[in-house]
Amino acid sequence: MNVCESSRRSRAGIEATVTSSPPRFSSGWRKSCDTLPQSLQRQQELKKDLRHSFNAAIRPVRSQDLDAIEKIENDGYTGVDRYPRELLEGYLEASRENPDVVMLIAGDSAGYVLGEITGDDRHGEIIDLAVMKQHRGQGLGRDLLERVSTSLRDLGAAEILLYVRTDNAAAIHLYETAGFEKTKDMPGYYQDGDGMQMTKRFKPAGPG
């Protein structure tokens, strides 16, 4: 199913891998030489725990999630890149009625991802991926990407496409680490910039 072909620009690219700043210490404190590494280690452990909690909370959207999805969209995109509420509502309803449309949300409103099976060859396409600013840099975008990719593969997709701005280095890096490769330049794909197509191909299942 293709819910809105004319609107497709499949940004799927807002998850910037922002790293947290190291903790600040008062200049009056005397720290042993191993305190800072321990503090950084604890910070990483907390981020890991937070990532796992979000991963466990990733679930299919429900009708009451529309406001949360719109909130995530508005936080992640501006101008022409932002999907209007009516389009988000259309995709949400489609995801509840058609198994070929996959829409997942993390937590109450931490991030969401949208993908679908489309075309005569039934390939997968990631239409949108957005994470709230305060939850970036914690691996949530990667988790959402992995979950929707697995869902599309299980629906029979041999490959998954997405489109991303050529100047969105953080998103491109995320997709490359997830196994996507650049397959086509898309000059003028966005109203105010160029894009590229990236593709992930799944290996055929082995015998037996």
Residue 58's Cα: distance from chain center in Å?
Answer: 12
Which tens digits make up the pLDDT trace of 35-51?
A: 445 566 665 555 555 55
| CA dist., res. 157 & res. 119, Å (int) | 10
Q: Is the pTM of this model over 0.85?
A: no
The answer to the question of residue 97 being in a domain is yes
30 lies in some domain: no
DSSP letters along 39-92, please? HHHHHHHHHHHHHHHHHHH-EE--GGGHHHHHHHHHHH--GGGSPPHHHHHHHH
Query: Cα(64)–Cα(43) distance, rounded to whole angstroms?
Result: 34
- Residues of the chain with pLDDT > 90, as a percent, come to 62
Helix (H) or strand (E) holding 95: helix 85-97
3-state secondary structure 124-162: EEEEEEEECHHHCCCCHHHHHHHHHHHHHHHCCCCEEEE
Our count of domains for the chain comes to: 1
Tokens of 106: 């993390």
Task: For residues 143 and 15, give the distance between their C-alpha atoms in angstroms, rounded to a whole number.
Answer: 11
- Comparing 128 with 8, the larger pLDDT belongs to 128
Write out pLDDT tens, residues 150-191.
999 999 999 999 999 999 999 999 999 999 999 999 999 998
Going by DSSP bridges, is the β-strand pair 123-131/111-118 parallel, antiparallel, or unpaired?
antiparallel
**In the predicted model, what is the mean pLDDT of the chain?**
81
* Average of per-residue pLDDT across 69-85: 89
pLDDT computed for residue 77 by the predictor: 85
The predicted-structure confidence for 114-137, as pLDDT tens digits, reads as follows 999 999 999 999 999 999 999 988
Query: Is 27 within a domain?
Result: no
Residue 3 lies in a domain: no
Residue 11 pLDDT > 50, yes or no? Answer: yes
The answer to whether residue 26 is domain-embedded is no
The three-state secondary structure class of 192 is coil
Question: Do the domain assignments include residue 167?
Answer: yes
What does the pLDDT read at residue 152? Answer: 97
pLDDT at 9 over 90: no
41 is in which domain, residue-wise?
8-14+35-201
Give the pLDDT of residue 80.
78
Rounded mean pLDDT of 62-84? Answer: 91
Is 22 part of a structural domain of the chain? Answer: no
CB 144 within 8 A of CB 104: yes
Q: What CATH number does residue 132 fall under? A: 3.40.630.30
* Position 29 in a domain: no
